[in-house]
């Protein structure tokens, strides 16, 4: 039986560990926190899992909260602007695209704690301990393969930044999120749940995400602000109540249509807020320990995207699925550096589309992109195709990035009997 060590108990690490466990591998998982510490700790992220990523979880029998989490049927876009003769900020664009298959969001405190307990209950070996490079170097020779799925801290330094694939050298957004109860229904469509991205040009974005947490149905209010701008006002050590008040003040100022249904919200718990910022980067997939042992990077350890395009957890799930298949196919052959690079390349073939899509969202939106978003308000096929691109970002290459292609597609969409082709 081949022995595999996985460091990191997030989406990629735990999904891979449980998948390998189910196929008979001897897996050790290292986490810096226990399930109880994860469950009772601060919220870890925002996340919207689209159909492809959810299918990977379902295939492993890990969809424990599916019947309780909101069924997200649409993805909407609003654009803030001003209208001549009317004071204040208005929605100048507003629509919702239909998802082909529902998306869902589960608080990762629930998910990762539950998955970690499941791994242990099924006989997996869990080591709760922070890991330094020296610790890993001591342990690595005991395993056939070491996978690093921890995207922060000392271990991330094992993987060199790839400048050709990493256009940014500084954080592009300051992040602030709050999980809340009590958000009112959207008046335009109270009959279904939708995740919505509110673009505020020159300021940032507000994502509103229906979710499930320990206390039931919740919504995530997530500001992504340009550094140094009016949203860059959250402090890391801020009191949760102050954080929520600041979130609502900014909603009232920049997205009053969202604030109107948020006047009665309250935090889901005392640990329901989070702030931060980080630099997006793609890193070399193979790290080398001081002893010369190669290790394979997974998920955020090697492809770290800003959450502005909702790709992080989806990309991690797809990474785990690719790595699971590659490890299984390897049989008894060695997991050498060449195999590691080939395995990463197999994942990157899809992950590069998520990174390209995210990087576009981080910059000023090109004129033709804003034109497409405006046109989608009156063209449901365009709105639907844009929404489903979050599940399959490769589709954006076919029509969205190039101004001529986008214009041609929108023109065809205006004709009767238009399809996505």
Assign residue 181 the CATH number of its domain. Answer: 3.30.9.40
pLDDT at 87: 58
Tell me the backbone φ, ψ of residue 140, rounded to 5 degrees: -60, -35
Assign residue 298 the CATH number of its domain. Answer: 3.50.50.60
Query: Which is it for strands 125-128 and 26-31: parallel, antiparallel or unpaired?
Result: parallel
Reference 11, options 99, 106, 102, 75; nearest CA is 106
Query: Same structural domain for residues 41 and 16?
Result: yes
Domain count, the chain: 3
Task: Answer whether residue 16 is part of any domain.
Answer: yes
Domain boundary among 232, 250, 276: 276
Query: Same structural domain for residues 135 and 159?
Result: yes
Within 10 Å of residue 162's Cβ, how many Cβ atoms? 14
Radius of gyration of the chain (CA): 22
Query: Same structural domain for residues 268 and 302?
Result: no
pLDDT at 151: 72
Residue 352, both tokens: 């590069």
Task: Answer whether residue 421 is part of any domain.
Answer: no
d(CA 90, CA 97): 20
d(CA 79, CA 333): 53
Residue 131, both tokens: 């890991």
Distances (CA, A) of 278 to 70, 130, 151, 415: 29, 21, 11, 44
Query: Same structural domain for residues 128 and 47?
Result: yes
Q: What is the DSSP letter of 310?
A: S
d(CA 44, CA 283): 22
Query: Same structural domain for residues 161 and 177?
Result: no
The neighbouring-strand residues paired with 174 are 225
Distances (CA, A) of 122 to 17, 55, 129, 313, 384: 11, 21, 20, 24, 41
Task: Answer whether residue 420 is part of any domain.
Answer: no
Residue 147, both tokens: 């996978």
pLDDT at 7: 97
Q: Report whether 294 contacts 343 (CB < 8 A).
A: no
Q: What is the DSSP letter of 144?
A: S
Reference 315, options 288, 279, 353; nearest CA is 353
Domain hosting residue 389, numbered range: 365-413
Query: Same structural domain for residues 215 and 234?
Result: yes
Q: H or E segment at 316?
A: helix 312-330
pLDDT at 369: 96
pLDDT at 86: 61
pLDDT at 91: 93
Q: Tell me which residue has tokens 């940032």.
A: 204
Tell me the residue length of the chain.
Answer: 421
Query: Same structural domain for residues 146 and 226?
Result: no
d(CA 251, CA 248): 5
Range list of H helices, 233-311? 240-254, 256-259
Query: Which is it for strands 174-181 and 266-267: parallel, antiparallel or unpaired?
Result: antiparallel
The per-residue pLDDT string of the chain (421 residues; one tens digit each, 9 = 90 and over) reads 899 999 999 999 999 999 999 999 999 999 999 999 999 999 999 999 999 999 999 999 999 999 999 999 999 999 999 766 565 689 999 999 999 999 999 999 999 999 999 999 999 999 999 899 999 999 999 999 999 999 778 898 899 999 999 999 999 999 999 999 999 998 888 888 999 999 999 999 999 999 999 999 999 999 999 999 999 999 877 899 999 999 999 999 999 999 999 999 999 999 999 999 999 999 999 999 999 999 999 999 999 999 999 999 999 999 999 999 999 999 999 999 999 999 999 999 999 999 999 999 999 999 999 999 999 999 999 999 999 999 999 999 999 999 999 999 999 999 876 455 5
Q: Report whether 256 contacts 229 (CB < 8 A).
A: no
pLDDT at 83: 65
d(CA 157, CA 151): 9
């Amino acid at each position: 039986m081949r022995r595999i060590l996985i460091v990191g108990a997030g989406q990629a690490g735990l999904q891979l560990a449980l998948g390998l466990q189910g196929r008979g591998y001897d897996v050790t998982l290292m986490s810096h926190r226990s399930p109880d510490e994860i469950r009772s700790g601060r919220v870890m992220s925002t996340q919207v899992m689209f159909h492809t990523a959810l299918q990977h979880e379902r295939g492993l029998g890990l969809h424990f909260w599916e019947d309780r989490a909101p069924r997200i049927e649409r993805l909407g876009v609003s654009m803030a602007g001003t209208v001549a003769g009317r004071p204040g900020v208005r929605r100048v664009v507003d629509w919702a695209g239909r998802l082909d298959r529902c998306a869902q969001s589960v608080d990762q405190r629930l998910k990762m704690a539950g998955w970690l307990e499941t791994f242990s209950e099924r006989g997996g070996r869990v080591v709760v301990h922070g890991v330094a490079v020296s610790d890993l170097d001591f342990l690595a020779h005991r395993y056939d393969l070491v996978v690093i799925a921890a995207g922060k801290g000392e271990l991330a330094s094992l993987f060199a930044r790839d400048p050709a694939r990493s256009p940014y050298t500084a954080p592009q957004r300051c992040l602030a999120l709050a999980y809340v109860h009590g958000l009112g229904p959207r008046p335009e469509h109270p009959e279904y749940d939708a995740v919505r991205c509110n673009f505020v040009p020159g300021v940032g974005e507000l994502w509103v995400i229906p979710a499930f947490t320990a206390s039931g149905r919740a919504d995530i209010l997530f500001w992504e602000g340009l550094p140094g701008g009016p949203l860059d006002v959250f402090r890391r050590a801020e009191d949760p109540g102050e954080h929520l008040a600041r979130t609502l003040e900014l909603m009232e100022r920049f997205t009053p249509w969202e604030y109107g249904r948020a006047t009665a919200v309250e935090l889901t718990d005392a640990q329901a807020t989070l702030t931060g910022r980080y630099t997006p980067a793609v890193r070399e997939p193979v790290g080398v320990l001081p002893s010369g042992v190669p290790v394979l990077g997974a998920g955020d350890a090697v492809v770290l995207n800003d959450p502005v395009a909702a790709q992080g957890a989806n990309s991690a799930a797809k990474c785990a699925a690719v790595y699971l298949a590659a490890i299984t196919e390897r049989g008894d052959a060695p997991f050498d550096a060449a195999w590691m690079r080939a395995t990463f390349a197999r994942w990157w073939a899809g992950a590069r589309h998520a990174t390209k899509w995210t990087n576009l969202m981080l910059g000023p939106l090109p004129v033709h992109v804003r034109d497409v978003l405006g046109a989608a308000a009156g063209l449901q096929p365009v709105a639907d195709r844009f929404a489903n691109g979050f599940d399959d970002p490769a589709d954006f290459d076919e029509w969205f990035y190039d101004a001529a292609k986008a214009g041609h597609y929108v023109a065809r969409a205006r004709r009767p009997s238009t399809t996505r082709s």
